[in-house]
Amino acid sequence: MDMRRELQPRGTSRVASFIAPRLPGPTIACQYRYPYLPLSRIEVNVALLSVIPESFARQHRVMPIDRHGSVVTVASDCDLDDAVLAVMQRLAGGTILCFYSAPDELDAALAANYGAARAWTQTAHNPAAGSGELPPPADCASRIGIPPLDLNRFTPVPDVVPLIPRHIAMRYQVLAIAAMRRRLTLAMVDPFNILAADDIHEITGLDIAPVLCTHDDFCQRFEAFYSFKVAIEEIAGEALDPVPGISFAARQPQEIDLNEVLAASGSSSVIRTVNCMLRHAVMVRASDIHIEPQSKTTSLRFRVDGVLQEESPPPFQMHNAIVSRIKVMSEMDIAERRRPQDGRFRAQVEGREIDFRVSCLPTGYGEKIVIRVLDTLALKGFSLDTLGFHARGLEEFRRAASAPHGMIIMTGPTGSGKSTSLYMALREINKPGINIVTVVDPIEYEIEGINQVAARPEIGLTFAAGLRSILRQDPNVIMIGEIRDYETAEIAVKAALTGHLVFSTLHTNDAAGAITRLIDMGVEPYLLSSSLRFVAAQRLARRICAKCGREAHVSEDELGGMVGPRSNVAGTPSLREGAGCPACMHTGFSGRFALIEALTVDDAISALISARVPANEIKRAAVRDGMKTLRMVGLEKAFEGLTTIGEILRVTPED
């Protein structure tokens, strides 16, 4: 077959002037049936690099040169067989016109023209590998003829993402964006990977339309694409195989067959569902998982940054099996379905040891499960400096924590970060010459060099009992997880008076309220005024997302209506808000920081405690002495642009 005659295009192209008998190499060219083309004198159309991937070009010794109408001109230093020509025709979407080029010229052309795209791809994988400045991704994508795509602007499509299995997407670093008219738009870190495109074409049965994404974007967005919603739908599809025309009514809790539930809880689909749920909770930084049975559905919610968010739930038919699976993992009684139960287990998620505290509660539609997620390595990267203290409060806290004796109290509602703050203080004062012992329920964070005791009230190891034993262990510093009763409070105060530094927590609205709470428990005011050194009230406020944060326009009248007079708040407002983006799950917030009301018990406050004055009078006296309330601290953070005024009003009590 005469390829030159058969594939010769009509008209003139940029290579036509170089096709002439006078050029060197006609003898070799004739051996391969192609006219000779000196690549060193040709300007290659770089847009065609997206037609023939580099791996294919180097393997088969072919260089794309130009496109003229439906004809793509290529050069090679060998005789191309029909199979290679057929592949190139499919890739190019048109007819192939072949020319011969010398091997050294072909090597130089391959290196020069594919070099820019390959260099950008390598730098996207490893930024340190690049040298000098590279053009931005959009410019690189334009040069190689593939449109760039900002993955942060796209929300995963549940019907499209599962077309590519998770492990395949991770292996080839690709994400399915859209599928229309038998064509799959595929975001690729390496758009020249023909093996990836062919494999995905075989898997999906769709033609592949590649778009370019960076390696960083792929890593950041991969979990959002292969989220729990997509995974759970895939698993549920395997677990539930409905028979057409047949439906089953939901059975009441007392009608459930225990043997059936036990068998179902060990099935691969149930195990994968629970594992997927736990993994996703850790990845989105959830502090709690709520699995709640409804009349005909199961509700699944994660508490992220202190706010419950709905997640795609597992099928209602799997609810009892999921509950049983979690019970088995937590070493609960799987046969007991009438009484509340508590348990815990530990799992390794993404290479991290995570503790899960489980609470099971019977409800009208079945058992509700709440799982507290405790990352034992969560203290890494945090310190008292990053906690949220204002300068004066941090100085006073450090002074109290470095004292040889006395009592330090952190107060606030459940989940406000009290224990975390105390652990950071313990870590800062932890030295070989100091014996630190804690009694907590449970041990949330593990710190090297600290003796930690887990309270177990069911066997008599309460906070009070543990504290008595600790006092016989020659401690310098003691931490009590929570003061819940008079017995614990009395022992803690006496320990602080006898040369020990005592840390503990309470549940009150503000710092001054902790003082009156201890007095109400039965602690004598004269003992409390002598032992108490420092009280801090704490809240956690959500931080505005760094990716979608923007300036918020609020008039002075609106501002006054929200916060009232600002005489006690320093700074000029620089208000911001989060627009919502995939990085923050469209909430406008990402992460939290602490707001701390720091009350130092000086001589004036000590006198007020001895006089049994109300908490509000103690608070007013502390404010006159320079203490900043939770609301004041929060508004300052809002005026600095860290959070919103609405968030501060939500989490802080009124002054």
Q: Token pair 């391959």 is at which residue?
A: 110
Strands ordered across the beta sheet of 477-480 = 451-454, 436-440, 477-480, 501-506, 406-411, 532-544, 589-600
Q: What is the largest CA-CA distance in the chain?
A: 112
- Domain residue extents for the chain: 3-121, 146-226, 232-238+253-375, 384-540+594-629
Lowest mean pLDDT among 63-67, 300-304, 605-609: 63-67
Q: What average pLDDT does the segment 419-432 reach?
A: 90
Cβ partners under 8 Å of residue 585, min gap 6: 284, 304, 309
| Region of 369 on the Ramachandran plot (φ > 0 left; ψ -120 to 50 alpha; else beta) | beta
What's residue 248's pLDDT? 33
Q: What's the chain's average pLDDT?
A: 80
- Quick one: pLDDT band at residue 262, thresholds 50, 70, 90? very low
Rounded to the nearest 5°, which phi and psi values hold at 175?
Answer: -140, 135
Q: What does DSSP say about strands 477-480 and 576-578: parallel, antiparallel, or unpaired? A: unpaired
Between CA 241 and CA 22 the distance in angstroms is 72
CB 352: neighbour CB atoms within 10 A? 12
The domains spanning 3-121 and 146-226 adopt the same CATH topology = yes
pLDDT at residue 32 above 60? no
Q: What does DSSP say about strands 532-544 and 589-600: parallel, antiparallel, or unpaired? A: antiparallel
pLDDT at residue 21 above 70? no
Closest CA to 609 of 480, 546, 536, 523: 523
Lowest mean pLDDT among 118-127, 401-410, 482-491, 633-642: 118-127
Decide which of 3.30.300.160, 3.40.50.1220, 3.30.70.420, 3.30.1370.160 is the CATH code for 3-121: 3.30.300.160
Cβ partners under 8 Å of residue 221, min gap 6: 151, 152, 175, 582
Between CA 390 and CA 594 the distance in angstroms is 10
pLDDT at residue 257 above 70? no
CATH topology of domain 232-238+253-375: Beta-Lactamase (3.30.450)
Higher pLDDT, 594 or 441: 594
CB 403: neighbour CB atoms within 10 A? 13
pLDDT at residue 120 above 70? no
Residues of the chain with pLDDT > 90: what percent? 31
Which CATH number is 146-226 given? 3.30.300.160
How far is the CA of 394 from the CAs of 508, 597, 629, in angstroms? 21, 10, 14
What's residue 130's pLDDT? 43
- Quick one: pLDDT band at residue 113, thresholds 50, 70, 90? confident
Cβ partners under 8 Å of residue 527, min gap 6: 493, 494, 497
What's residue 247's pLDDT? 35
What's residue 121's pLDDT? 52
Span 389-424, pLDDT tens digits = 778 888 888 999 999 999 999 999 988 889 888 988
Q: What average pLDDT does the segment 266-288 reach?
A: 80
- 3-class SS letters over 158-177: CCCHHHCCHHHHHHHCEEEE
Residue spans of beta strands (DSSP E) within 380-500: 406-411, 436-440, 451-454, 477-480
Which CATH number is 384-540+594-629 given? 3.40.50.300
pTM (two decimals): 0.61
Q: What average pLDDT does the segment 177-203 reach?
A: 82
Q: What average pLDDT does the segment 578-600 reach?
A: 85
Rounded to the nearest 5°, which phi and psi values hold at 273?
Answer: -65, -45
How far is the CA of 54 from the CAs of 114, 121, 184, in angstroms? 7, 12, 22
Span 331-354, pLDDT tens digits = 898 888 889 999 888 888 777 788
In sign, the C-alpha dihedral spanning 310, 311, 317, 323 is negative
Cβ partners under 8 Å of residue 304, min gap 6: 284, 285, 286, 287, 585, 587
Long-range own/partner contacts, residues 334-343 (CB < 8 A, 24 or more apart)? 334/258, 334/261, 334/262, 334/265, 335/258, 337/253, 337/256, 337/362, 337/367, 338/362
Closest CA to 75 of 27, 21, 18: 18
Between CA 74 and CA 66 the distance in angstroms is 7
Q: What does DSSP say about strands 307-311 and 298-304: parallel, antiparallel, or unpaired? A: antiparallel
What's residue 34's pLDDT? 72
What's residue 30's pLDDT? 45
What's residue 435's pLDDT? 96
Q: Are 371 and 379 in contact (CB under 8 A)?
A: no
| Region of 26 on the Ramachandran plot (φ > 0 left; ψ -120 to 50 alpha; else beta) | alpha
